[in-house]
Amino acid sequence: MQKIIDRFVKYVKVDTQSDPNNPDFPSTEKQWDLAHILVDELKEIGMQEVTLDDHCYIMATLPSNVDFKVPTIGFIAHIDTSPDYSGTNVKPQIHKNYDGGDILLNKAENIVLSPSYFEDLLLYKGQTLITTDGTTLLGADDKAGITEIVSAMEYLINHPEIKHGKIRIGFTPDEEVGKGAHMFDVKKFGADWAYTMDGSRVGELEYENFNAAGAKVIVHGTIVHPGYAKRKMINAMLIANDFIAGLPKNEIPQATEGYEGFYHLTGMQGEVEKTELEYIIRDHDMKLFEQRKAVFQKVADDLNKKLGSKLVEVEMKDQYYNMRKKIEPVMYIVDIAEEAMIQLGIKPLIKAIRGGTDGSQLSYKGLPCPNIFAGGHNFHGRYEFVAAEAIQLATDVVVNIAKLTAEKAK
């Protein structure tokens, strides 16, 4: 347990935030810092064929230790952390034997992590929690996943009595900005299927995710002196406000759950002459997803018609699709993961992801890739936390999947 904690803490202290506004690959140079650490560590524990390519993708192999044919399976996690909140100077705090009460993250700023607001804390009463100091995110998304994969490989190497086929592992950059699978070489990876270790609560097992699009709304105005503006000024910020009000008001993240889709305003920047809105559009159902995009465009078209001029522009681009379509024909790969959890006394929580993973894009590139819990909660913010015991359980699941896959092949 202490080794797992130490490994995780080492990873999260490395700033690896990605940048959604940089087209370079990877989008930030600092992702290389952790990549080089991981390459050295993988070689040190005995992994083979360790590679780091020009786009910051790491791949490595644990060779089969059996003399019969076993499908090659993979485990994948991402290096980067979210640009939504600072990942600089992360200072993890360890709370042993959590008592179920409030946790004071930062005394100076009175930042408190409380189960009265974050009820999932109570799932880990009596366990060792790792939190932030309230000024940064933690990075369990997805450095918990990296920790689990590396720890599982080390365990299998040190316990050759556990029989397994060939295992490939991959660590990707830029997942948080939607590019994590864009340059992933599925043929080079060479696995029959894989699992991303990128979920949250213990037991999560997911093979459905959102269909996703990103959209930018550009509103053009006209600036003149406000004292002489009558019938001349066009305030782009006010038109942008009309656009926001034109979308269904209850179809937003904080008012939806389960299979309900949403429109999410993620950023806005404006002046009288020009205002830009950034949105993400999400829905599990492809038909509803297409309808959402049509509604989004119609709001802009209606505003332009009302204004008598094309002052509102929309740029919209699909990002990824629901991997369910690609997983259902090979559901046995989900069944293996489910059985691996049950054997460890973990109750599988099979549900749809209200988000996306590298696995969704990889599934469409020919590598079926369900998602497994990594253990963290409250991703992308100051209240992020993970239990060390959850990281251990996810590590055990990786080991057991490898073992079960070999047993079923035999």
Q: Which amino acid is at 114?
A: S
Rg over CA atoms, the chain: 23
340 close to 174: Cβ distance less than 8 angstroms? no
With beta carbons less than 8 A apart as the criterion, state whether 293 and 281 touch.
yes
140 token code pair: 């369990």
Secondary structure (DSSP) of 282-308: EESSHHHHHHHHHHHHHHHHHHHHHHT
- Token digits for 305? 């018609």
Q: How far apart are CA 370 and CA 346, in angstroms?
A: 17
Told to judge if 260 belongs to the known catalytic residues of this protein, a careful annotator would answer: no
Distance CA 300, CA 217 (A): 8
> Residue 93 in contact with residue 365, Cβ under 8 Å?
no
Question: For residue 145, which amino acid is it?
Answer: G
Residue 75 · residue 47 · CB < 8 Å = no
Q: Which of 15, 19, 80, 141 is catalytic?
A: 80
* Annotated catalytic residue 175: yes
- Say which DSSP state 181 is in: T
CB 212 within 8 A of CB 319: yes
Place of tokens 């105005």: 221
The answer to whether residues 379 and 200 touch, using CB atoms and an 8 Å cutoff, is yes
What is the token pair recorded at 81?
């952390």
DSSP assignment, residue 108?
A: T
Buried b (16+ CB within 10 A) or exposed e, 256-266: beeeebbbeee
- Estimate to the nearest angstrom the gap between the alpha carbon of 247 and the chain centroid: 26
Catalytically annotated residue among 133, 141, 154, 175: 175
Q: Label residue 99 exposed, middle or buried (CB < 10 Å: 0-12, 13-18, 19+).
A: exposed
Active site residues: 80, 175
